[in-house]
Amino acid sequence: MYQVPENVKAAIEFDPWLKPYGQVLSERRYLADKWSYDIKHATPDGSEQSLSQFARDSYKSYGLHVNPKTNEITYKEWAPNAKNAFLVGEFNNWEKYTHQLEGKDEFGNFSITIPPTKTGEAAIPHDSKIKVMFQLEDGTEIYRLPAWITRATQPSKETSKQYGPAYEGRFWNPPQPYKFKNSRPKFNEKLNSLRIYEAHVGISSPEPKVTSYKEFTQKILPRIKYLGYDAIQLMAIMEHAYYASFGYQVTNFFAASSRYGTPEDLKELVDTAHGMGILVLLDVVHSHASKNVEDGLNRFDGSDHQYFHSLSSGRGEHPLWDSRLFNYGSFEVQRFLLANLAYYIDVYKFDGFRFDGVTSMLYLHHGVGEGGAFSGDYDEYLSKERSAVDHEALAYLMLANDLVHELLPQSAVTIAEDVSGYPTLCLPRSMGGAGFDYRLAMALPDMWIKLLKEKKDDDWDIGNIVFTLTNRRHGEKVVSYCESHDQALVGDKTLAFWLMDAAMYTDMTVLKELSLVIDRGIALHKMIRLLTHSLGGEAYLNFEGNEFGHPEWLDFPNVNNNDSYHYARRQFNLVDDHLLRYRHLNDFDRAMQLCEKKHQWLNTPQAYVSLKHEVDKVIVFERNGLLFIFNFHPTNSFTDYRVGVDQAGCYRIVLNSDRDEFGGHDRIDESSKFYTTDLEWNNRRNFLQVYIPSRTAIVLALEK
């Protein structure tokens, strides 16, 4: 008789359909557990260390560090292909051989200790330029930025002309380091909802420029707080030499991007958000790395396989992203990436991570081509014959989740950007899952855009909309969203643009009569967001600017637009102009977030949908005691429309998309009370009757 492996027994009891794949799941978990065991016993004396201790000791020993008591500087670097290593910089007038590192040891590490100056100061001045020079076995000398560098800056025009455009390493040792004032907000998914505001610091201004950390702290954080979001997801923080990569071609993993200011400025941003009760998540890129050599990790020690799979293996490059792929099976790569997570948690006080490119990590085909066409058949993920899962990448993700939750037992949030639907990805590690808290519901924005592009309003398939919004794995939580940064990029269009297009430039003023295009656009924009928010997942995400229907796409300065910043910005000025209708969408978004904050539906079981009426275009469902009613019909309003509800009593409206302040027509009397009738309707024990105007959504709550 088949015995379910003990280490995945809980996952299989939770989902019995996994039973035929118990051995595969067990082997995948065993690999991560073995690595965890190896790490915990990888100490010089053989004593046991925690995963947290390993990660923390790593970022505190590798790279450049100053002893605060003695001002002695230590530097340690792993470069197994190099013969010799030298530290050079402004501090020694770029003399090549004055500061040779000791080494290398049996593991390929070089190190040096630099005593303070005669006056007791650190021998390397704060924020001065620095590099490491390696001598290879053949005598070649190569210059690199230290792999663990914590600050890298763009060269001046003069330096760039002389030495090239590569970023410059800096020795960061501020005389007055930022001191955090606020404690982290606690997050418990049973008690708190997760409403995420996805933001890119650099574009967070109406002006065509790169916005600073300080400007974001002073001007954007209050907006996010006002809107009612309780988490921020910051993009493009890890240093990237190419701005137009949106932060997804990382060159320096431990350096917070200098485009927006100093590391201390970022600390202030996170601290200020914490003071507002807002969690701060980092969009972390461990799925790949920039191919840059002079200021990145590529060919760091002269070899092509130090941090990455070798190019000759066929696994060293991403087929579409023009980037290098990590060798997650390497102990030193595990050290580097796990330490990277601990560093951002400890030093910058981030509360968790959205892991980019998880689908690419999970599969040897990276979700590209025929291999990326997932049907949901378990064989595609778990069959030894059919699946193309990268076991080492999966094991790394398991360790990463172990570490984050160990470091942040009261506030950790991990989100996987996965489109494949890999089973057990968001089950706890203790059950045999990968340990993520959430995955992104990536099918939802595709559905909405496909609808708006291809279907007339009369032809919307209500049943299919509901199916797509509720089609998720039981017990594995998802972050729902209508559109993220992906849908804002040039070449695509935001929902607001699909709905209203050029009319947004001419007809959004309240000084003109409301046009049919704008009326439809505003109404559907609100309804799509509320339906996705309330039915689509266990958390919600919005990309900055989309809450008020940002009228333009996003395009970073590059050679194709003459390095223009015109589209690399968010026009918050449109919201503040009370003669424009953008404020209506903004105010509705706030009302939606605050309604959820008060009544909490996100962190509750999936809704029960009692009605999907194709002719009336009406959707009705209940979630956490609330009754949601949507009328998507373009022209028909319904009087005394009968809807089922399980719990008897008197109901009141708590959210109404048709309010005048939300750009609606004020057709609903919100003082009305709705009493249930004890008669089964649509498989619910009671019903009530409501007036639901066309293109309107209302939410009712039981009167206490």
Instruction: Give me 118's structure tokens.
Output: 């005669």
**Residue 627 DSSP label:** E
Task: Give the sign of the dihedral formed by CA 389, CA 393, CA 399, CA 400.
Answer: negative
- Partnered with residue 284 across adjacent β-strands are 355
Of 379, 275, 696, whose CA–CA distance to 526 is shortest?
Answer: 696
CA dist 586 and 581 (Å) reads 9
- In contact, 63 and 343? CB cutoff 8 Å: no
- Partnered with residue 630 across adjacent β-strands are 619, 697
CA dist 657 and 699 (Å) reads 9
The sheet with strand 626-631 has its strands ordered as: 608-613, 618-623, 626-631, 696-702, 650-656, 674-675
- Partnered with residue 231 across adjacent β-strands are 196, 279
Task: Sort 334 into a burial class: Cβ within 10 Å, 0-12 / 13-18 / 19+.
Answer: buried
Helix/strand/coil (H/E/C) assignment for every residue in 503-549: HHHHCCECCCCCCHHHHHHHHHHHHHHHHHHHHCCCEEEEECCHHHC
- Partnered with residue 324 across adjacent β-strands are 289, 317
Task: Give the sign of the dihedral formed by CA 550, CA 555, CA 556, CA 562.
Answer: negative
Helical (H) or strand (E) element with 391: helix 391-407
Helical (H) or strand (E) element with 298: none
Radius of gyration of the chain (CA): 27
Task: Give the sign of the dihedral formed by CA 485, CA 490, CA 495, CA 501.
Answer: positive
Residue 45 annotated to the active site: no
**Residue 41 DSSP label:** T
- Partnered with residue 554 across adjacent β-strands are 489
CA dist 314 and 311 (Å) reads 6
Residue 356 annotated to the active site: yes
- In contact, 289 and 318? CB cutoff 8 Å: no
User: For tokens 């001065």, what's the residue?
Assistant: 128
CA dist 629 and 622 (Å) reads 9
Angle at Cα 162 formed by Cα 158 and Cα 163, nearest 5°? 115
Instruction: Give me 104's structure tokens.
Output: 């290398």
CA dist 322 and 517 (Å) reads 41
CA dist 245 and 291 (Å) reads 12
Question: Nearest 10 degrees: CA dihedral of 675, 679, 684, 689?
Answer: -40
Phi, psi of 312 (to 5 degrees): -70, -20
Taking each helix axis from N to C end, the angle separating 582-599 and 516-535, rounded to the nearest 10 degrees, works out to 20
Which one from 356, 390, 544, 587 is the annotated catalytic residue?
A: 356
Instruction: Give me 216's structure tokens.
Output: 């974001």
Of 652, 659, 646, whose CA–CA distance to 701 is shortest?
Answer: 652
Question: In sequence order, what DSSP letters do the residues of 550-608 get, joined into one string?
Answer: -SS-B----GGGTT--TTSS--THHHH-TTBTHHHHHHHHHHHHHHHHHH--TTSPPPE
Which one from 198, 239, 301, 417 is the annotated catalytic residue?
A: 417
Length of the chain: 704
- Partnered with residue 73 across adjacent β-strands are 66, 114
Instruction: Give me 92's structure tokens.
Output: 């020694």
Any idea which residues carry the catalytic annotation? 356, 417
